Amino acid sequence: MDVQVRVAQVRVPVASGQSLEEAARTARYGALADLAKECGATWVLLGQHADDQAESLMLALSRGAGLPGLSGMGASFERNGMRFARPLLHLSAATLRAYVEVSGTGLVDDPSNSDHRFTRNRIRGVLMPAWERCFPGFRDRLLRSMGHAAQAQRLLDELARSDLADIGVPPRLKPLQALSRDRQTNALRHWLRAHEARWVQVPCTVKVSGWSTAPTYN
């Protein structure tokens, strides 16, 4: 097909508290962004599909994720100075596999996909088939639920931006205390995400607007 192929090898350093899957994903996106820039490309198209999306939701549920996690993978995003898109999220793995077989294209299975030491592979190999037996066609319903979660998260982000416009960035304590407890949390979460911060376990008591708690943040 006269399509140029570029190959990159990456080293995957795993930081303390980081999973191998997360570290490998970070390295992979970095390598893809670098290759795309070398080629003068403005977009990188990824092959994640509807099954990957359903697996992401199950993985998020197993970790007690909030709305951002339950919203699944976005159709597009920016990372490492490059724009990425996922144009196949509405297609199932079976549909894509059937297309590849009919087209006569060689099919290669990554042998690591069957390694159940990794959580996502256990979901793919054990949990997904069980759901299919109990709830045929469950993927479409999970995708619909993820769409609802994404819509709710967009509304929360809109509210947070409005509140932060009033209370300031970084948030000023007095105006923050005037908000309800839920809006305080929502505004702070949005502000931290915007600065790529992570919620951490804090060994202290937080007092805001007359109430006190020793929260566990994710």
Domain ranges of the chain: 42-196
pLDDT given at position 194: 84
Residue ranges for the chain with pLDDT beneath 50: 199, 201-202, 204, 212-218
pLDDT given at position 210: 53
pLDDT given at position 104: 86
Q: Across the beta sheet with 43-45, what order do the strands follow?
A: 43-45, 82-85, 76-79
Enter the tokens of residue 19. Answer: 């999973």
Other C-beta atoms within 10 Å of 72: how many? 25
Enter the tokens of residue 107. Answer: 């099919």
Burial class (CB in 10 A: 0-12, 13-18, 19+), 136: exposed
Question: H or E element: which one contains 83?
Answer: strand 82-85
pLDDT given at position 56: 92
Residue where the block lists tokens 């399509």: 3
Identity (one letter) of the amino acid at 161?
R
At 74-90, the pLDDT tens digits run: 999 999 999 999 999 99
Beta bridge pairs of residue 208: 211
pLDDT given at position 19: 81
Helix residue ranges, H only, 40-180? 50-62, 67-70, 93-103, 119-122, 128-134, 138-167, 173-177
Burial class (CB in 10 A: 0-12, 13-18, 19+), 183: middle
pTM: 0.75
Looking at CATH, the fold of the domain delimited by 42-196 is given as Rossmann fold (3.40.50)
Note whether 65 and 149 are within 8 A (CB): no
Identity (one letter) of the amino acid at 110?
D
Note whether 143 and 86 are within 8 A (CB): no
Query: In terms of Cα–Cα distance, which of 88, 70, 67, 86 is closest to 78?
Result: 86
